[in-house]
Amino acid sequence: MKKFVYSIGTSLLICVMFMQCSSKLTKLPPTVSKLADVFYSENQNQQLIYLSDSLSKLPLTKDERYINTLFKAAALSESEKINQAFALVNTLEQPTNELKKFWYESIKGLILFRKKDYNQAYEILLKTTFYSHPDKVALALNERILARISLNLDDYETGLNWLQLSSKHFRECELNKSLAINYKLLGRHYMNVKNYSEALRNFKEAEKLLLTCNDRKELFYIYVNLTDYYLQTKELKNAQLYAEKYLPRFEDVYDNQMRTLTYNNQGEIEYQLKNYQKAAGMFRKTVDIPTDYVSADSRKMNALVNLASINRVTGDNMNALYYVTQARVLLTKNMPYCLRYKVYNEYAHIYHSLHWADLSYQYLDSAKMQIDSINLSESKTTKAFFDSKIKISALSTHLQQAKEREKRVKITLSLVVIVFSVLLVLAIIIYQLQQTKTKALKSLVLKNLQVIADERKLNEVMNEDLQIKKNKRITHTDKSDELYLKIINWLETDKKFMRNDLTLELVAKELNTNREYVSRAMSNRDIRFNDLINKYRIQETIQILSDKNNIVRCHKLSVIANAVGFNSDSVFIEAFRKQTGMTPAQFRNNIDLPQN
């Protein structure tokens, strides 16, 4: 008992010391605070990596090195070096300080999101919304990612709530560019759900904000989205108007992926306007762009199929065949089934135009196979989608707590002491109650052992009494008693009660009598056959558990139950409780075996 109280007191002391130590780092050191400024200004990842590498050459403290590594991992993740970022953040130990923990979970959650591990990303980022004094900009970005995960899983209400919180915090920090990106995300969401008026309104809000902060790269992507919007709504002149804004305005900030988006969009517009020559020119530009960006082969293949389609429509089937064959060369096992379908379907159309029916049918079959593969892939994706949605829905129940995090009362040292004092008193009470319960159980064990011993003596007396009566006139009752004792002796001989096939019919047959006599003999004793068998089996169980030399006593209770004849663990436990007033586990835990 003294040891128990001492351990509780020690725990209390450690908790107090931990609270004092955990507050050492309360804000980012000035040396590395610049990293956060650069990272949360968005789209400055190369500059951040350069800054991080420069800082690593300086003599930094342990905390400064930790934060520096975190932000380098974040920059690598946003530069599409996700595996490298994940490996780097996994080299860091789990922090105990609240501030370091906030930054660690914020950046690891971002990396997990980029890895498309939505369940873990959501769970870890949700934790960051509960901290007392989080960095508001980091919090706003975390809320944006929580929104994107929710929207990806069609949990629109939760997603829009997270975006609203994120926008509120970006607005408070006067970060117009970040706020504009939120508007862009809202626009994409409304495009996906076909709410085109809201989509256009949000894209326009984003455009207005980005024009004030002169972020040309983000403005480029807004124009891409507006072009896509007008393509979907079949307003081709407006789509053309926005597509023509790309090159003259943003050429100096273009990378190859941005050029591809531009040429593909302009090609799609011209194709729908049936300006086939202009459309072909745009798609040829896409094909000529170096493939040094993510998904380059897919975009190039798509452009080649479009070129094939244009040539087929304009009657140049041989050129169409040339382009579609080039597209087929790029096909790999990792290519999406929809692109495979486009290639094979285009082949089928070209061969149909050339009146090569056999080849046309062959490629139609291949295209159909890709459609079947798409359906199979979608069914697997749908299952994974709903699995993720179920898991994240459980996490989303904490949303209300997240909204009220600013209302939480600070836990003071005095409150901790009070809580631990109450816990200590409760622990002592529980300990004393447990001791009382243990004594009662041990007493019950002894009582059950005594009952078994008394029953054995009673059976011996009954046998002696019956032998005396055999010399006198045997009454009907005596015959019933005699049969009952025969049943008892038969069951006890070789412990036949342990057989799991026992029935009244079997016993009657073994004793050369009939089932009715056996049943009546037991009824006269006011006992049922199953209860009698269970009584013997429970007594055998008690005998096993009471014998320190019996190795079976160390086996699992389910094994012992099966050994004495029970086919069901639940029946065994219920029968044991009914006969002894305690469970088999309680009996074994409270029996005092003789010491050697």
Say which residue, 413 or 50, is predicted with more confidence: 50
Q: Quote the pLDDT of residue 22.
A: 42
Check: CB of residue 542 under 8 Å from CB of residue 517: no
Mean pLDDT throughout 3-19? 45
503-550 pLDDT tens trace: 888 888 888 888 888 888 888 888 888 888 888 888 888 888 888 888
Query: Of 11-20, 335-344, 453-462, which range is least confident?
Result: 11-20
pLDDT at 184: 92
Q: What is the pLDDT of residue 350?
A: 85
Cα Rg of the chain, angstroms: 40
Please state the rounded mean pLDDT for residues 219-226: 86
For the cut 70, the answer to whether the pLDDT of residue 81 exceeds it is yes
Residue 44 pLDDT level (bands cut at 50, 70, 90): confident
Stronger pLDDT, 368 or 182, i.e. the higher one:
182
How confident is the model at residue 465, as a pLDDT? 63
Task: Answer with the residue of higher pLDDT: 336 or 383.
Answer: 336
The confidence score (pLDDT) of residue 455 equals 73
* The two three-digit tokens of residue 6, written as one number: 């001492």
CA distance 164 to 149: 14
Mean predicted confidence (pLDDT) in 329-338: 75
pLDDT at 374: 53
- What is the C-alpha separation between 199 and 193, in angstroms, rounded? 9
**pLDDT score recorded for residue 407:** 57
Residue 474 is classified by DSSP as P
Which residues, 6 or more positions from 499, have their beta carbon under 8 angstroms from its beta carbon?
A: 565
Tell me which range, 281-285, 332-336, 460-464, 480-484, is most confidently predicted by mean pLDDT. Answer: 281-285
| pLDDT score, position 484 | 84
Three-class HEC string of 240-295: HHHHCCHHHHHHHHCCHHHHHHHHHHHHHHHHHCCCHHHHHHHHHHHHHCCCCCCC
Output the pTM of the full model: 0.55
Let me know: does 183 contact 205? Beta carbons within 8 Å. yes
Which pLDDT does position 144 carry in this prediction?
Answer: 92
User: Under 8 Å CB-to-CB from 167, ≥6 apart: which residues?
Assistant: 140, 179, 182, 183
**pLDDT greater than 50 at residue 589:** yes
Neighbours of 569 (CB within 10 A): 14
172 vs 241: which has the higher pLDDT? 172
Q: What's the chain's average pLDDT?
A: 79
* Poorest-pLDDT segment among 23-27, 213-217, 290-294, 422-426: 23-27
Backbone angles phi, psi at 228, to 5 degrees: -60, -40
> What pLDDT sits at residue 204?
92
Q: Is the pLDDT of residue 31 over 50?
A: yes
Q: Are 55 and 68 in contact (CB under 8 A)?
A: yes
pLDDT of residue 168: 92
d(CA 485, CA 505): 17
Mean pLDDT over residues 484-493, rounded?
85
| DSSP letter for each residue of 484-551 | HHHHHHHHHGGGGGG-TT--HHHHHHHTTS-HHHHHHHHHHTT--HHHHHHHHHHHHHHHHHH-TT-G
pLDDT of 101 over the 60 cut: yes
User: Is the per-residue pLDDT at 331 higher than 90?
Assistant: no
Using left for φ > 0, alpha for ψ between -120 and 50, and beta otherwise, residue 565 falls in left
Q: What is the pLDDT of residues 383-436, one digit of tens each?
A: 444 455 555 555 445 444 544 554 555 566 767 778 888 888 888 888 888 777
For residue 177, what pLDDT band results from cuts at 50, 70 and 90?
confident
At 137-170, the pLDDT tens digits run: 888 999 999 999 988 888 888 889 999 999 999 8
pLDDT for position 17: 42
Model pLDDT, residue 378:
45
In whole angstroms, how far apart are CA 70 and each of 77, 91, 103, 329? 11, 10, 8, 42
pLDDT at 383: 44
Q: Which two tokens stand for residue 409?
A: 């009362």
Q: What is the pLDDT of residue 201?
A: 93
pLDDT tier at 79, thresholds 50, 70, 90: confident
What would the pLDDT profile of 267-279 be if each residue is shown by its tens digit? Answer: 888 888 888 898 8
